[in-house]
Structure 1
Amino acid sequence: MLDDRKLEVLRAIVTDYVSSQEPVGSKALVDHHDLGVSPATVRNDMAALEEEGYITQPHTSAGRIPTDKGYRLFVDRLGSVKPLSAAERRAIQTFLSGALDLDDILNRTVRLLAQVTQQVAIVQYPTLSHSVVRHVEVVSLSTQRLMLVMITSTGRVEQRLVEVAEIDEDELTGLRTLLNEAVVGQTTGEAVRSLSMLLGDVDQPGAPVTPAVTMLQTSPLAKLSAATLLEMLGTDRSSRVVVGGVQNLTRLSDEFETTVKPVLEALEEQVVLLKLLGEVNQPDIVTVRIGQENPYERLQSTSVVSTGYGGQLDNWATLGIVGPTRMDYPSTMASVRAVARYVGRFLTQG
């Protein structure tokens, strides 16, 4: 365990190295920070920190830089994530408020995160198990083609074309009512079960005869549309992620020396990104994995800051950033948490 003074020295080294990108010497610490001790004492503290593995000397006669262990202690001792300013909160809200649908929201989110953190941003699509069907619309496009539109509480808008021999316009109102009564207000899992049972009753001898069953039995359009909606409900995009700000990483190629190419290759693999984000399962809890803590060798020159987003009581998916271990952790953690809160709120209320 380090005493409070050595922790202050470590905090000062991390802060100065993040801002200057240069190894930090004892004289600079004394000049820039009110540590209340002599340069000789600071040098002794730095020697102790180096011996414990919290800092290292990259070159002879150079200052010190934090190690992964040093960053870990720094992050663990932050206490709490600082709140964003009112101006920063307004900027986030304004940027997201113009979004049209789920795809637009997530694309805006990665651009926003990449911009405010200057890192690579990653956002996972929400899991459908947490979404509720809000509305199903039936739009006639021609005498032989219509479009089904399904909207869920997570902002997902799914569209599918249905083609039949002939569309009876008089059927559309009844079809719209049938589909909405079958699934609206239910989670996608419940809707799948309800619609499956309804379609099953159509061909089941002795099944209760209801207006919905009768319509499905007598209308090929209704039966095909219900089957198409069932297929739409079963399409889960939570295995997808959106990535933005890769150019931020390439600008930091000197930070990674020869490892920038493997990092970029890892960021192209959806499975790797999903596993990185999938370990986070609680909204409002910011997780930081630093350097060697990352399970993927190609990402062990980076840090991953991530959190969950979703409703007030549950987590729909995760978002975060990937960047060099030399990053502004307090600001990055605050930005990741704030953006996650706004995305969850926007999707819940949108």
Structure 2
Amino acid sequence: MVSERGLAVLRAIVQDYVASREPVGSKTIVERHSFGVSAATIRNDMALLEEEELIAAPHTSSGRVPTDKGYRVFVDQLTEVRPLTSAQRHAIETFLGEAGDLDELLSRTVRLIAQLTRQLAVVQVPSFASSRVRHVELVHLSPTRVLCILITDSGQVEQRLADLGGEVDEATLAALRVRLNEVAGGLTLTDAAAALSGEISAVDPRHAEVLHTLAATLAEQARAQRSDRLVVAGAANLVRTEQDFSGSILGVIEAIEEQVVLLRLFGEMAAEPQGVAVRIGRENEPFGLGETSVVSSAFTVPGRDLARLGIVGPTRMDYTSSMAAVRAVARYLSRTLGEH
């Protein structure tokens, strides 16, 4: 069991090591922090921390560095995330407020997070996969051509031209429109596509081509709007921290380039009470990122699925500032997108 002073010593070691990249000794702790005890007492506390595998001695150094477990205890001991300064909040609002659309907003977001944290930043593109069909409209262009218009509950509008393979008059088209909305209305895009692909009662078999065309449109849109894409920025930040990794960072870069890896990891990260999730070192080994830490937070876009943003960097990371920046930007996105 680690004492309160022992936890304070651990915090000091984490903070000093993150700032200097140098192993931290008892003399340094006494000089830099006001513990009011001797270096010998601090050495005893450090010995207990080492027994708990919270710190370790690199090579033959007299100083100690935090272990993955030590970083985890440090992060878990953060009862609240330090808020950003008013200047930092103003910078977020100003920079992101100039975005013209969602794509530009996400692009600006990763650049801003990379700048604030000095880590590699990633943002998950929100998905329309959970959107539901609000209305299906069929516009008669010619006896054999129809414009299929799909409107979702999130306001998304998708249009496709359908060649019917035979003549359909406006009266028949009107009847089909009513039946399509009865079948697809209120369903998700995927479920609507499945419903329209099957046999639908009270529809003339001769008009099945219209249904199949619309079903294909819905299925195509559902695939296109799956949340399987990330926007990334700040790769140079990762390269600059290469000495914090025991070997080459190529494996880390390759894992990040396999976006499905990070998407799976994001999917497993549940937010802590502070609204931020943190995975450290060995906790990320199943994803090929065993020497990295990942900090993430969720944001919402009306009519879309929950998405996440975050950073990837070495375990020697300024967790306090990084968690604050990631949470602040996620909250800004949710608030701004909710207003629009």
Question: What's the TM-score, normalizing by structure 2?
Answer: 0.78
1:287 counterpart residue number? 277
| Letter of the structure 2 residue corresponding to residue 80 of structure 1 | E
CA contact 1:309–1:315 (8 Å) conserved in 2: no
Q: CA deviation at 1:88?
A: 1.9
CA contact 1:120–1:321 (8 Å) conserved in 2: yes
The answer to whether the aligner puts 1:342 opposite 2:332 as a matched pair is yes
CA contact 1:133–1:183 (8 Å) conserved in 2: no
1:230 counterpart residue number? 218
Partner secondary structure for residue 127 of structure 1: coil
Structural mapping, 1:1-350, within 5 Å: 1-131=1-131, 153=154, 162=161, 188-189=188-189, 192=192, 196=196, 200=200, 203-204=203-204, 230-231=218-219, 233-235=221-223, 236-281=225-270, 285-296=275-286, 298-310=288-300, 316-350=306-340
| Letter of the structure 2 residue corresponding to residue 39 of structure 1 | A
Moved more, 315-324 or 185-194: 185-194
Q: CA deviation at 1:99?
A: 2.6
Query: In structure 2, what is the Cα distance between the partners aligned to 1:189 and 1:127?
Result: 12
2:170 counterpart residue number? none
Change (3 A) 1:267 1:287: same
2:142 counterpart residue number? none
Change (3 A) 1:281 1:76: closer
CA contact 2:136–2:148 (8 Å) conserved in 1: no
Query: In structure 2, what is the Cα distance between the partners aligned to 1:277 and 1:342?
Result: 19
Change (3 A) 1:130 1:66: same
Query: In structure 1, what is the Cα distance between the partners aligned to 2:295 and 2:5?
Result: 27
Q: CA deviation at 1:108?
A: 2.1
Change (3 A) 1:50 1:3: same
Q: CA deviation at 1:335?
A: 1.3
Q: CA deviation at 1:68?
A: 0.7
Change (3 A) 1:132 1:90: farther
Q: CA deviation at 1:120?
A: 1.3
| Letter of the structure 1 residue corresponding to residue 4 of structure 2 | D
CA contact 1:188–1:233 (8 Å) conserved in 2: no
CA contact 1:133–1:188 (8 Å) conserved in 2: yes
Change (3 A) 1:264 1:6: same
CA contact 2:184–2:192 (8 Å) conserved in 1: no
What is the CA deviation profile of residues 254-277 of structure 1, one whole-angstrom value per residue up to 9, with x for unaligned ones? 111423111011111122111110
What is the CA deviation profile of residues 205-254 of structure 1, one whole-angstrom value per residue up to 9, with x for unaligned ones? 7xxxxxxxxxxx7xx9x989956753454233312222221111111111
CA contact 1:160–1:228 (8 Å) conserved in 2: no
Q: CA deviation at 1:192?
A: 3.1
CA contact 1:306–1:321 (8 Å) conserved in 2: yes
Identical amino acids, percent of aligned pairs: 49
Change (3 A) 1:19 1:183: farther
Q: CA deviation at 1:148?
A: 6.7
Question: What's the TM-score, normalizing by structure 1?
Answer: 0.76
Unaligned runs of 5+ in 1: 139-143, 166-173, 206-216
